[in-house]
């Protein structure tokens, strides 16, 4: 899934952006009530960013819930509570998910007991473009130079790519440290009046590292295949 961050499909040019905005004009009323923000806005994805859901019980999970009478087994990303507690004093925090409220809210209520997340946005707040749910940051009404979105899917922020902070998809790994690493970056830039240059630098570095890892894995797979075929029956 993370290899999608390297897919040029999610890099829009000016013509693509114009087509998007023509199809999805800005609303007359923004999602966040107009006010002068004293803190920057941090928008967090939900599934595979903050937690992972299985529909059959895995060996380890944090809690069980249900949606539409279907059991769900929830694995919370390690260090989530610590992460939320650290960002709360410095950022306005929102969750923006392509899920429905009846799916997301019970889990959010469980993982955010301290109410660090001030805003929740759902599928009805997304726009569909190129068969992807887009989370349009301009619909929030917050200054773009002080608004960041963290998401494991590059399509979610392809309209505002420079505001996007990619993160590795969380699939239940108990040793995951991505949120601690993310906080290190957010702490570094929390006082910036324009966060975009450093956000772009961070995201580009993240994608370059992903590209190197992908090439290394492909080379290793090729080498293993060649070794197996060369040592096969003569």
Residues annotated as catalytic are 45, 47
Count the helices and strands in the chain (H runs, E runs): 5, 10
DSSP-H helix ranges across 73-231: 80-87, 101-111, 178-189, 196-230
| Residue 77, Cβ density class (10 Å: 0-12 exposed, 13-18 middle, ≥19 buried) | buried
* Dihedral sign (CA 25, 31, 36, 41): negative
Beta strands (DSSP E) in the chain are 41-44, 51-54, 63-67, 70-76, 92-96, 119-121, 127-129, 132-134, 147-151, 164-166
- Which of 53, 94, 93 is closest to 76 using CA atoms? 53
Separation between Cα atoms, residue 147 and residue 28, nearest integer Å = 20
């Amino acid at each position: 899934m993370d290899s999608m961050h390297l897919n040029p499909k999610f890099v829009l040019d000016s013509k693509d952006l114009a087509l998007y905005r023509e199809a999805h004009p800005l609303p007359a009323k923004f999602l966040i009530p107009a006010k002068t923000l004293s803190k920057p806005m941090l928008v967090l994805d939900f599934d595979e960013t903050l937690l992972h859901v299985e529909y059959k019980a895995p060996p380890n999970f944090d809690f069980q819930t249900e949606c539409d009478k279907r059991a769900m087994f929830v694995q919370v990303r390690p260090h989530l509570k610590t992460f939320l507690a650290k960002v709360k004093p410095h950022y306005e925090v929102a969750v923006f998910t392509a899920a429905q409220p009846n799916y997301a809210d019970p889990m959010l209520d469980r993982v955010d007991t301290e109410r660090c997340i001030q805003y929740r946005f759902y599928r009805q707040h997304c726009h569909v473009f190129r068969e992807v749910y887009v989370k349009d940051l301009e619909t929030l009404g917050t200054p773009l130079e002080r608004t960041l979105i963290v998401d494991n899917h590059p399509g979610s922020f392809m309209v505002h790519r420079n505001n996007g902070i990619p993160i590795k998809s969380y699939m239940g790994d108990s040793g995951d440290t991505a949120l601690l690493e993310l906080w290190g970056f957010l702490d570094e830039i929390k006082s910036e009046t324009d966060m975009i240059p450093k956000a772009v630098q961070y995201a580009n570095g993240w994608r370059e590292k992903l590209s190197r890892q992908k090439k290394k894995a492909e080379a290793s797979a090729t080498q293993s295949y060649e070794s197996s075929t060369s040592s096969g029956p003569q």
